Amino acid sequence: MHNNSHRRLGIGLVTLTTLMFAVLDTTAKWLVLSLPVLQVVWLRFLTHSLFSLAVFGPSMGLSLVRWQHPRLQLLRGMLLASMTGLNFWALQYLQLAETGAMQFSVPILIAVLSAWWLGERLDAQRWAAIAAGFIGVLIIIRPGSQAFHPAILLSAGNAILYALFNLLTRRLASSEHPATMQLASALVSTAVLTPFAWWSWQVPSTGWHWLMLALAGISGGAGHYFAAQAHRFASAAVLGPFLYQQILYMTLGGWLVFDQVPDRAVLLGACVVVASGLFLLWREFQVKATSPST
C-alpha cells in the first residue's frame, strides 16, 4: 500500500507538472506576440527565481543555494535558458498544439541519446518505435510542403535540448533537493540572459502583461519543482505515460485563448509520436521487470 500511495502521489505531481507547463506556454505565446522573446524569457526566469526564494528561502536557508554538483547545475541552467528561448521563439509563429506535439518527441530522443551517449542497448522493437516516432515528427513538420513553417525547426532544437536537460535532471535528482535544482536552473538562466534582455528591453504597456509575466514565472517554477518531486515518489516508467496529457491542455489553451485548432496532419503526427513514446516507456518497464538484476 505504501508503494501504491507513493505512485499515486507521483502521478498526481506529474499531472500538476503538465498543467503548469501548459499554462506557461499559453501565457508565453500571448506575451511574445507583443514583447521581445528574450525579454519574456528573462522575466519568466527572474520571476521564477524570486518566487522560489520567497517560498523556500525561509525554511531552507542557505541550503537552498548549496549545490552538490555546480558544473552540472550550470550546464543544466544554460540548457534550460536555451531551450526556453527556442520554444518561446517558435510560439510566435506556431500553434500550441504544434510545439506541444514536437515536445513529445523527447522520450524518443532520450532513447537515442541513451543508446549513443550512455551505451544502453536497444532491441529491435525499440528501434522500430524510434523510427515510427521520427515518422510522426515528419508528419508534423511536413518538409517541402506549403504547410511547412521554418519555426518548427526551433521546436525540434528545443526537443533535443529538452532531452539532454531530462538526462541531467535524472542524474542530479538523487543528490540535489528539488527546490535547489529548480532554483539553480532559474538563477543560471536569469544571469545568462540578463545582458540580452536589457539590450532588447521594451516596457510592458499594461497590467495584463505584468500579470502574465508573473504567471509564467510561477507556473514554470512550480512545474519544475513538481517534476523533480514526482520522480522521488515513482519511476520514470510509471510517470511517463501521464506526461502526454500536456498535449490536451496545450490544445485546449490554443483553442480557448487563440481560437486555434490543429489540423489533421498535426493530430495524426502527434498520435504517432505519443504512441511510439508510450511503447518505448512500456518496453523499458517490461525489460527492467524481466532483468536478472531485479
pTM of this structure: 0.81
CB-based contact 99:87 (threshold 8 Å): yes
Would you report the helix, strand and coil content of the chain in percent, each value rounded to 5? 80, 0, 20
- Reported confidence tier of residue 2, pLDDT bands at 50, 70, 90: very low
Top-confidence residue, 105 or 147: 105
CB-based contact 250:26 (threshold 8 Å): yes
What sign does the CA torsion over 37, 39, 40, 46 have? positive
Q: What mean pLDDT is reported for the chain?
A: 85
d(CA 151, CA 181): 30
CB-based contact 183:65 (threshold 8 Å): yes
Q: What is the 3-state secondary structure (H, E, C) of 54-99?
A: HHHHHHHHHHHHCCCCHHHHHHHHHHHHHHHHHHHHHHCCCCHHHH
CB-based contact 69:202 (threshold 8 Å): no
The pLDDT of residue 294 is above 60:
no
pLDDT digits (tens, 9 = 90+) for 142-190: 776 667 788 889 998 999 898 888 888 878 877 888 888 889 999 999 9
CB-based contact 228:170 (threshold 8 Å): no
CB-based contact 266:140 (threshold 8 Å): yes
pLDDT of residue 72: 92
Q: What percent of the chain has pLDDT over 90?
A: 29
Q: Locate cell 525579454: which residue?
A: 39
Q: Per mean pLDDT, which range of 23-32, 41-50, 276-285 is the poorest?
A: 276-285
**CA 230 to the chain's CA centroid:** 14
pLDDT digits (tens, 9 = 90+) for 74-100: 999 999 999 999 999 999 998 888 888
The pLDDT of residue 21 is above 50:
yes
Span 57-70, mean pLDDT?
88
Q: Per mean pLDDT, which range of 4-18, 115-129, 168-182, 257-271 is the poorest?
A: 115-129
CB-based contact 214:28 (threshold 8 Å): no
pLDDT of residue 17: 93
Q: What is the 3-state secondary structure (H, E, C) of 131-198?
A: HHHHHHHHHHHCCCCCCCCCCHHHHHHHHHHHHHHHHHHHHHHCCCCHHHHHHHHHHHHHHHHHHHHH
pLDDT of residue 280: 79
pLDDT digits (tens, 9 = 90+) for 34-44: 999 999 999 99
pLDDT of residue 293: 47
Cell of 44: 519568466
Span 6-19, mean pLDDT?
88
pLDDT of residue 19: 94
pLDDT of residue 288: 63
